[in-house]
Amino acid sequence: MEYATRRRITAVEEPSPFIAASLRNSNDTEVFVRQFWHEDIMLYESFFIAMLDSNNTAIAYAKISQGAINHTAVDPRIICKLVVDHLAVGVVLCHNHPSGNLKPSEADCRLTQKVATCLQYFDVKVIDHLIITNDQAFSFANDERYRCYLKPQQGE
């Protein structure tokens, strides 16, 4: 019987002193996460996470997925693994909308709450979920209608 060999995930990068940042608010976070995208921000959706220490300083970030022009698949198990591996206490979710539409979709809201629910078992909080376009950003944490999705689902 053959067994699969373990592979180290290499998509995680620890910020260098030049890009490490204290993410005190959504503006700081937007500046930090924009470095992940280049001209591809208007081509296809990509999903990243920024992992934070107890001072809300980014200790690492990772590209979780890259998809098509209007969606990308995100597996919360991968997020949990990376967050635990880095002993993060907080995480910021971020993805782009190539269409330029900043409004979160129902799938965006469900995913945000699902990740928050999964991470609660590791005492890790989802601090924010940013949706960015070429020149704007939307923060779940800054909008009272969407802030509830950053919290774990009740009864889980």
**Residue 17 structural domain:** 12-150
- Rounded distance between C-alpha atoms, residue 125 and residue 151, angstroms: 8
Q: Within a domain: residue 156?
A: no
**The predicted structure's pLDDT at residue 12:** 57
Please report whether residue 7 resides in a domain.
no
Q: What is the pLDDT of residue 75?
A: 97
CATH number at residue 93: 3.40.140.10
Q: How far apart are CA 80 and CA 92, in angstroms?
A: 12
pLDDT of residue 5: 46
Instruction: Using 70 as the pLDDT threshold, list the residues of the chain that sit under it.
Output: 1-20, 155-156
Per-residue model confidence (pLDDT) at position 19: 58
Interior/surface letters 11-31, b for 16+ CB within 10 angstroms, e for the rest? eeeebeeeeebebeebeebbe
Q: State residue 127's pLDDT score.
A: 97
1 falls within a domain: no
Nearest to 63 by CA among 75, 155, 55: 75
pLDDT of res. 44:
93
pLDDT value at residue 20: 63
Domain count, the chain: 1
